[in-house]
Amino acid sequence: MTTFKEKLFKSLALFFVSTSLLFSQSEPTSISIQIDEQAPIISKHIYGHFTEHLGRCIYDGIYVGENSSIPNTNGVRNDIVKALKELQIPNLRWPGGCFADEYHWKDGIGPKAGRPNILNTHWGMVEENNGFGTHEFLDLCNLLGTEPYLAGNVGSGTVEELNDWVEYCNYDGNTDMANLRKENGQDKPWHVKYWGIGNESWGCGGNMTPEYFANLYRQHATYARNYPGASIKRVASGADADNYHWTEVMMRDVPHHMMWGLSVHYYTRTGWPPRGSATNFDEADYFLFMDHCLKMNEILDKHMAIMDKYDPKKRVALVVDEWGSWYAVEKGTNPGFAYQQNSMRDAMIAGVTLNIFNTRVDRIKMANLAQAVNVLQAAILTEGENILLTPTYHVMKMYAVHQDAQLLPLNFKSPKYTFEGKSLPAISASASKKDGVVHISLVNIDANKENTVEVDCEALGVSDFTATIVTSDNLQDHNTFDNPNKVKVQGYNDFKFKKNKLTLTIPPFSVLMLEAK
């Protein structure tokens, strides 16, 4: 016979189980996809990358020299070329960054024995021998099948220096610069299309006011000329994060035909110098960094509103040519080298940021992850002859399917990720269609709770679904040289399709890509 205490215990147990289920589950997030034939194309160039003479990005990263025992092509590591090619990177920015405004390109051409040693004053006060210069970088871009994006020196350079560099790269004729290029082994011009005019001119690029830089930009841009067969796209050095006044002045004072693009830089970090470990963090740290990551929405929208005021036809692109996470450097490494590990938190930052870009491609036409190898939110890390692919690499590779696809606008209300009384949108998403194939990228940033999503597919006319996911057991999980496949892309099949509705469950801190035909 059941006693009163036993009945009470069972009732309480049932109550607590029911309450637990109530708080652990939420209503499914319903996503409707709009078919808009006038929707913009997601430019492939928002999936660009960035390489700077910073720490071990170039030397002891991409470039090991022709005499290295590591397999290479003219000094460039073959394994890195292979890995970057698999990312289908559309453009590569070089040589900086802050380094660009102390770099004099003529130091890095000609016989290597005659190239001067220089001091990298911005990043670690190290000397370098200019073994990797214009020819080596443009040869790398040729190996990768990617567009070069050269950053010109405005901070310590001259108008003549920039003019000569553009002519050296792009003019096919009988001038001193064209002939110098030929003497150095490149008979035909490279026809470099993308040129940055200055970098962070509000800070390391010269500590200028926007009013002063606007005039200086006009001067430099005038002499960064088009040549036959080589029409260039000039990108003006733009704002730091929420410096909206800089964007206001540039859009007001620079003729729009002189700017293909105006840049903005935004890093997910908490203060300066950057704080926190890339791998040793708790949920409070994670929530704080995701909050900073999501502020990209507000920052971009406010810059774009200013641009819309002066350029309603959206002729000037917004170029986010530096973005990514920034923590304290790994213990035992040079503080000036910005070397950090890369965890599931960075996979979240990558997925959310790319979704933010995808949904604003009427104005955003280019972006560059900082950086490709061994620096900041790197796609690839190296150690001697070994390389590893980071969680960020895997997310970038998954998202490559959006390149040059037509945006499919989404309509949904995200559930909340709540921590200590504060809330953030848990779900981030974007979608596109190309050659009849639909891709939907979804991110669940919630550190604890899975979220169910229902996608109304009736307007899409698709029924054949496959999916991949980047997820792991712990937020702090990352790949190491001892365990390089801890975090990787996996198959995913926790979904069902019925009556034109796709229902799926996204685990906590996961990035998911759906493909539908």
Residue 485, both tokens:
């496949």
For CA atoms 87, 92, 98, 102, the dihedral sign is positive
CA 409 – CA 394 distance, rounded (Å): 24
Residues pairing with 503 in the sheet: 454, 496
Q: Is 458 a catalytic residue?
A: no
For CA atoms 105, 106, 110, 115, the dihedral sign is negative
Work out the number of other CB atoms within 10 angstroms of the CB of residue 276. 18
Catalytic-labelled residue, pool 86, 161, 322, 458? 322
Catalytic-labelled residue, pool 52, 102, 147, 200? 200
Residues 6+ away with beta carbon under 8 Å from 188: 172
Residues 6+ away with beta carbon under 8 Å from 453: 28, 29, 30, 31, 427, 442, 503, 504, 505, 506
> What residue type is 387 in one-letter code?
I
Residues 6+ away with beta carbon under 8 Å from 324: 267, 268, 349, 369, 370, 371, 376, 377, 392
Residue 331, both tokens:
């213990």
CA 16 – CA 495 distance, rounded (Å): 29
Q: Is 322 a catalytic residue?
A: yes
Could you list the active site residues? 200, 322
